[in-house]
Amino acid sequence: MYVLFCSYGNDSIALIQWAHERGLKDVYCLYSDTGWSADWWPSRVADGEAMAQSYGFTTARTQSEGMLILVKRKCGWPGAGGQGQFCTAELKVIPALNWLDINDPDNEASAMTGVRRSESKHRSDAPEHVPASERHGGRELWQPLVRHTDEMRNALIRRAGFEVLPHRSLECYPCINANIDDIRLLSEDRIQLIDVTEKALGFTKKRKPRVMFRSARRKGAVGIRAVVQWAAAPRSRDQMEMFPTECDSGYCGG
Ligand code: SF4
């Protein structure tokens, strides 16, 4: 049994296509619903699932309480105020481990992701094989696209009948690790939702506002409206690349 962890971004579509071309059998494509995707992302997920099913793969989703309820329960955003990146654990890893415990009780499955080394410096030494991955309940982790370039990945996506998206997965919109490009993609509706949530969360005991993004990494921008303004400022591509951030859980992105 192979369990492909799919956000249905570019790398996930490429991974599904790769698994099909490789002739893998007994394949499950598992999507983690974080309740925080872009409005149109569920239709992208449905298209990706339809493609996977046409290859004879089984698709499944895990549910979670959703980002906004989680943030309110924790009285703050993940990664802010020293709270750590709890969104991945709460919205994805724990629901996925529960799913795996039910569907693979003997720990025989191989977990698979579409992580690639060329995505970023951060992932430049991502392993292809991990014999026992803690985040996958001790199961084997196989990341067969680690050596795939953008061109190789894009060719897989096109053979799957999909266009290459010009941005990262929008399974979380935005991710707490959003870079400048991701912030620039935000709709007014989503900015407003974050703004209202930030205001409702108020301040810490030390009178620090409970905002989604750390101001220290964004020229002192406090609150989503200021962060959006900061991101909108013209920059060279080199300057843009000074702000790449991402999660290394293997559950996010792609
Ligand atoms: S994609 Fe980003 S916001 Fe969503 S769970 Fe992962 S780290 Fe958290």
Q: Are 91 and 83 in contact (CB under 8 A)?
A: no
| Residue 171 forms part of a structural domain | no
Residues with CB under 6 A from ligand 1: 34, 78, 85, 87-88, 91-92, 171-172, 175-177, 247, 252
| Residue 248 forms part of a structural domain | no
To test the ligand 1 pocket, which listed residue (74, 179, 246, 247) has its Cβ within 8 A of the most ligand atoms?
247
User: Which residues constitute the domain of residue 191?
Assistant: 180-239
Q: 251 CA distance to ligand 1 centroid (A)?
A: 8
What CATH number does the domain containing 141 carry? 3.40.50.620
- pTM, two decimal places: 0.93
Claim to verify: residue 148 and residue 222 sit in the same structural domain: no
Reported as a pLDDT band with limits 50, 70 and 90, residue 245 is low
- Closest by alpha carbon to 139, among 234, 48, 28? 28
Q: 91 CA distance to ligand 1 centroid (A)?
A: 8
Claim to verify: residue 147 and residue 207 sit in the same structural domain: no
Side by side, which strands form the sheet with 58-62? 58-62, 27-32, 2-5, 110-112, 139-142, 129-133
Q: Could you give the dihedral angle defined by the CA atoms of residues 178, 181, 183 and 187, in that order, rounded to the nearest 10 degrees? A: -130
Q: 187 CA distance to ligand 1 centroid (A)?
A: 18
Claim to verify: residue 128 and residue 190 sit in the same structural domain: no
Claim to verify: residue 124 and residue 185 sit in the same structural domain: no
| Residue 148 forms part of a structural domain | yes
DSSP strands (E only) in 51-191: 58-62, 110-112, 129-133, 139-142
> For the segment 4-30, what is each residue's pLDDT rounded down to a tens digit?
999 999 999 999 999 999 999 999 999
Claim to verify: residue 35 and residue 154 sit in the same structural domain: yes
> For the segment 187-207, what is each residue's pLDDT rounded down to a tens digit?
999 999 999 999 999 999 999
Provide the token pair at 126: 């991502």
Claim to verify: residue 184 and residue 152 sit in the same structural domain: no
> For the segment 159-180, what is each residue's pLDDT rounded down to a tens digit?
999 999 999 999 999 999 999 9
To test the ligand 1 pocket, which listed residue (5, 175, 249) has its Cβ within 8 A of the most ligand atoms?
175
Claim to verify: residue 49 and residue 128 sit in the same structural domain: yes
Question: Residue 140: helix, strand or coil by DSSP?
Answer: strand
Claim to verify: residue 6 and residue 84 sit in the same structural domain: yes
